[in-house]
Structure formats: structure tokens, C-alpha cells
Amino acid sequence: MSFFTIVLFFVYTFCLGLTASFFVKNSENFLERNLMRIGYGLGLLPFLAIILNLFKVPADWRIILAISLLYPVYHVFRNRKNLKLSVATFKITKTDISIFVMLLIFAAALYVYATGAFKYPYLEDDDSWGHAEGIRFMSAVKNVFSKEAHNVRYLNPYPPTYDILFGILHQTNDSVYWTMKFFNALVISLSIIFFYFFIKEFSGNRNKALFATFALASVPAFMSHFIWALALTIPLFFVSFYAIERIKHDKKWRITAGLVMFTAFTSSPTHSTYFGLFLALYLIAKMILEKKILVYHILASVFGLMLSFVFWWLPMILRYGVKGTIQGVGFSFAIKGAKMFSGTGDRVYNFADFFFAQKQNMINSPIGIGIVLSILTIVGIIFLLVRFKELLKHENHWLAITFVWFIFTLYAVNAAKFTIKLSPFRTWMLFAIPVCILASEGTFNLMSLAKGVGGNIGKYAILLLLIIGIYFTSAQQKIAVNTAVWPPGGFWTSGEEIAGYLWMKENLKPNAKVFGFVIEGPVIGLDKYICSWCEDEREFKKIVMNKTAQDINSFLKSKGYQYMIIDGQFARKYGANETNNKLNEISQSNLFKPVFGNNAFILLQIT
């Protein structure tokens, strides 16, 4: 663990967040004001790196740190006479207590996610190994617009901000593996903080916000510790909508909101698109309810969208063309019939999938709400429909918008059998958002009824029973999934191949230069170095079977490699007989020294 990198993460994000919000009317609450600055900075950090890269300045952590500190240092110097904190006037309010409870929920979520992430010694599934290459690229090359970036799976024209963020963080430690696992868990857990403050601002009720936050942390459908770009997109949903909601206090919030939206629009193909749809529904519903054009909300949205277009999507279109950019991000839909992008886990869901949470689940996008939360959501919807006219009151507009989001996500998650769809199985985490808000509303309506019957004792008895019920029917199942041992991916040829790579991870020094002829992600993801983006090395791999042992030795030595791998992937590509012949040739050359071997993995030292 690198405490230095952890400290730097909060320095980068807090200081950039302060810079992006010093000119607006912030919350009067000290904790809210400063915790949300981490959210703004989380959105601005990748944006800053992209701006630097456009001007051919490397996204080096020292440059990032210096820029991050510019305004905060100036701010401290200018206000040095007013920085004394009077302990005598410091008071803990009910809002502070609510925030402290929320922070406990955040800490519990981080503990579960991080514990689960480090329960096995490899990265999980397939996406993580691809992101490891992008992160290592950004750590070494530090320029997302470099011509070699197109050789990396999740860079150019794929929206790059996830790999940029983690690439900057990796520059100050020697472990891609630890950087990905820890900070992925941390960023996902920060969703808890940002969601709480968004709902508090959205609803104007800290108690409803706190219960909704507990529900979100408990519901299985909302985010696992899976390593992929959605881990960055979802927290920025809440940061962006919080900033938009703050426009009612100060119109200058449109600037901060737009800046944060840049990364929300450039972090993942599907959920950046969903962010735009959430935003459009929010604006349309809010304008209909308030019967006026929300000029500053629209300006904030357009500003964020234009920033993403000018600084990322336009450069990609100029380089790859419209068709190449669309294909590069993974959209391969047929224009005829308007069939949208499908996901690998899409299927038709039934009532049990929603109502009963399971301890065995999908690892990337878990499904299920749980019995108690499902009932509370239904109760919340019933109360909304019974009191439909009250939704037209200004103080209840947030519930109407939530209901619109609920209808939209309910369709999206069930769209597998329909023509128009966008990765239905990935929308469970989005469906969980309005579900938890509505469940909170249902809870408070039940508490109100209980108070009428049994006073405060009845009210809090109902609350306690619901919390216990949610824990046993949702949270337990979520914890089980997120602390289980997950598989390392579907591309491996055997368990022995995995065992060989794990031996390499434990027995070679961090960042030892290890050349693999077929796959690079496991080398990088297990903290060794290979230049997966280098054009000459990529070309050499294509002709390796035509090269002699002497040619291989000379080339790898010229590139500074210390070790070479022949594995199951090699045999799968070239065939078992050809692989054995090549191994015999290599062993007879005396130019390579065997270090470790089994039936699917041979590690050779280059002599």
C-alpha cells in the first residue's frame, strides 16, 4: 500500500475541487462543502490531464500537483489573517450527525469492497486486464493523444478518463495491481458520499437522504467492486446533479457543473450516454413541473457536453472519422431498425430477479433489489400515485423527477427483448438509484403512519425493523458477492497458466521487464513491465515463429527485457507441435535460462 499515493489522490481532488468552486455560493456546512470538493476534483483531474496532453504537455503527477496547488496556495496566502478556527464557536449540528452516520456507511462500503478486491491475488474477469494496459500506458507515456495510444484496448477513441485517472495515480507507486484494486474500491465507495449530498440537496431532507444512502449501500444491484470504467462514471452522476441542483442558490454553479460533466461524458460509452439521458429527462421533467425554461441548467448541460466534444470527441472524429470513432467505443448497432448496443449479459428478467437478492450473482453488474427494499419501493410508488396532485407542488418536484427516472430505468433494465436498448444488464446500477430514493419515501410514509398509531415509539420501531430487514434481505447478499473469490477471466487456457503468472508476480521484482508473445495484460496487471503499445515489439510478435533463438535473444536484449514467457496462449495460437519445436530450439541455444515452468507456463531468463 502506498500512503503517499492515497494522500496525493485527496490533494489532487480536493485542491482542484476548491479551484472549481471558490467563486460559487457553497454550502454553509463545513463537512458538505469540503467533501463535495473531492467530487468536483474527481471530475476535473482527468480533464486537466487531457488539456495538458492537447498542448503536448505530459500528464506527469508533479505537473498535476503543481497546478492543483496554485489556487489553494494563493487562497491561503490571501486569507491568512482569517484562517484561525475558533473552537469556542464550533458546534455539532443535527446535519453534522447525519453526515457522520453517512461517513460510517461509506467506511463500511469501502471495507467490504476493498476486502473483496484483495481476496484473490489476480485481477478479475477480462476488462481489468485491458484497463491495466491503459493505466500502464498513461503512467509511462503520459499522453493520451500519443500515436501509440491506438494500440491500447481502452484508449483512443474509447473514452479515456478512467485509465487517465489511474495512470496518474500509478506514477507514484510501483504496483498497477494495488493501484487498480484500491482506488477502484475507493472511487466506487465515494458514490455513497456524493449520493447523500445530492439527495439532501435534491429533496431538501437530510433524513430521507440518509436512509436512501443506506439503501443504496445495501442494494445488491448498485455497483460491485468490479474494475471497469463505470466505477468512475456513476460517482460523477451524483456530483454533476448536485452541482446542477445548487444553481438555485447561485447561477454561477453552471460553470462548476459543466466542468464536472466533462468526465461524466468521457468515462464510459454506455453510461456516459445514460448520463446524458438522465440529464435530459431531469431537465424536461423539471421544466414541465416549474413551467419555465431553466436557462442556467441548460447552459450548464450544454457547457459540459461542448467541453467533452471539443476536448475529446472532436479530436477523435478528426483522427478516426465518425464511423471509426463509433466502432472504437464499442457501438456496433445497425442503423436500420434503430437497434442499439447490446451487452454480453443481457437477458429477460422475471419477478424473482428483482424481488429476491441472491448471494451468488453477476460480478460486473449484479442484479436484484431484495424483499424489503422492493416492498418499500412499491409502497413509495403507491403513496405517490395516491397523492399524485401533491407532486405538482414545488417541494415535491424531486419525487416526480425520481419517478420519471424510475420508469425510464425500469424499461432500460427490461429492454433485452425490445429493439431499442442500450446494454440492459448494465443498467441495474442505474435502476437502483430511483429505487432507493423511492424506498426512502416509502419508509418515511410508513413511519408517519406508525407515529399516528404508536407515537415516536411506533415510528422508530418501524424504522429499526426496516433497517434490519434490509440488512438480511439485501445487504447480506451484497456483502457475500463482494467478498467472494472472483474468477480471473475467460481467456486463460488453464489453471496451470494462471499459477505460472502468479508465481512470476510473487518471485520477480516489481516492474521487471518480461516479454510475452501473445497477451500483455496479465504481465502488466501482475506488476511486471512490457511495452504493449510499442509498434516494433508488436510487429516482432507477428513474425516470431520465423525468427531463430539468436534473433529473439538479440531483439529482446536490445529492448532491455530480462525474461520471456512461453505459455498456453502461445500454444493456442501456434499449435502444440510448433510450440514444442520452438521451445526445443530455444533450450538448445543456451541463450535462455529456465526459471520456472509447468505444463502451461514457462518463464525463461534472457542470458
Q: What is the mean pLDDT of residues 392-414?
A: 96
* Res. 250: pLDDT tops 80: yes
pLDDT at residue number 346: 85
Percent of the chain with pLDDT over 70: 96
Cite the DSSP H helix spans in 79-157: 94-117, 127-140
What's the CA gap between 230 and 228, in Å, rounded? Answer: 6
pLDDT value for 77: 87
Residue 84's pLDDT band, with cuts at 50, 70 and 90, is low
Residue 44's closest CA among 322, 256, 345, 300? Answer: 256
Q: How confident is the model over 561-596, as pLDDT tens digits?
A: 999 999 999 999 999 999 999 999 999 999 999 999
Give residue 327's identity as a one-letter amino acid code.
Answer: Q
Q: What percent of the residues of the chain are helix, what percent strand, and what percent coil, each to the nearest 5?
A: 70, 5, 25
How many CB atoms neighbour CB 486 within 10 A? 21
Q: Find the mean pLDDT for residues 232-258.
A: 98
Cα distance between residue 94 and residue 420, in whole Å: 46
Question: Does pLDDT of 345 surpass 90?
Answer: no
SS3 339: strand
Q: Which residues contact 187 (CB under 8 A, 6 or more apart)?
A: 42, 165, 231, 232, 235
Chain segment 446-458, per-residue pLDDT in tens = 999 999 888 999 9
- Whether residue 311 contacts residue 47, with contact meaning beta carbons closer than 8 Å, is answered with yes
pLDDT of 283 over the 70 cut = yes
CB half-sphere exposure, 501, CA atoms < 13 A: 26
- Kind plus residue range of the DSSP H or E element containing 603: strand 601-606
Helical (H) or strand (E) element with 371: helix 371-386
For residue 89, is pLDDT > 70?
Answer: no
Q: How many other CB atoms sit within 10 Å of the CB of residue 144?
A: 26
503 Cβ contact list (under 8 Å, min separation 6): 596, 601, 603
> Quick one: average pLDDT of 198-215?
98
What is the predicted pLDDT for the residue at 338?
43
Q: How many Å from the N-terminal Cα to the C-terminal Cα in the chain?
A: 33
Mapped to the 3 state alphabet, what secondary structure does 392-404 carry?
A: HCHHHHHHHHHHH
Task: Please indicate whether residue 573 or residue 392 has the higher confidence score (pLDDT).
Answer: 573
Give the pLDDT of residue 330. Answer: 77
Distance between CA atoms of 269 and 370, rounded to whole angstroms? Answer: 29
pLDDT of residue 350: 94
Asked if 556 contacts 515 with a C-beta cutoff of 8 angstroms, the reply is yes
Residues 190-214 have a mean pLDDT of 98
pLDDT for 284-315, tens place per residue? 999 999 999 999 999 999 999 999 999 999 99
Query: Does position 513 have pLDDT exceeding 70, yes or no?
Result: yes
Comparing 20-29, 109-118, 322-331, the range with the smallest average pLDDT is 322-331
The pLDDT confidence band at residue 85, using thresholds 50, 70 and 90, is low
| The residue to which cell 448520463 is assigned | 275
Cα separation, 230 vs 235, in Å, equals 9
Looking at every residue in the chain, the average pLDDT score rounds to 94
CA distance 572 to 338: 38
Which three-class secondary structure state does DSSP give residue 515? strand
Q: Does residue 335 surpass a pLDDT of 80? A: no
Chain-centre distance for alpha carbon 513: 29
Q: Does position 434 have pLDDT exceeding 90, yes or no?
A: yes
- Mean pLDDT over 490-508 rounds to 97
In angstroms, rounded to a whole number, what is the distance separating the alpha carbons of residues 463 and 50? 47
Closest Cα partner for 159 from 230, 234, 238, 250? 230
pTM above 0.85, yes or no: yes
pLDDT at 339 over 80: no
Whole-number pLDDT of residue 332: 57
Helix 269-290 to helix 253-264 angle, to the nearest 10 degrees?
A: 150
3-state secondary structure of 24: coil
The helix or strand, by DSSP H or E, that contains position 186, with its residue range, turns out to be: helix 176-203
Inform me whether the pLDDT recorded for 334 exceeds 50.
no
Strands (E), 344-446: none
DSSP summary character for residue 575: -
pLDDT surpasses 60 at 109: yes
Tens of pLDDT, residues 532-557: 999 999 999 999 999 999 999 999 99
Query: If you count DSSP H runs as helices and E runs as strands, how many of each does the chain have, helices first?
Result: 24, 4
Average pLDDT over residues 3-30: 97
Predicted local confidence at residue 78, as pLDDT: 86
Which carries the bigger pLDDT value, residue 329 or residue 50?
Answer: 50
pLDDT at residue 259 above 90? Answer: yes
Compute φ and ψ for 423, nearest 5 degrees: 50, 65
Instruction: Give residue 420's pLDDT.
Output: 87
How high is the pLDDT of residue 343? 61
Which triple of cell numbers denotes residue 434? 430511483
Q: State the Rg of the chain over Cα.
A: 26
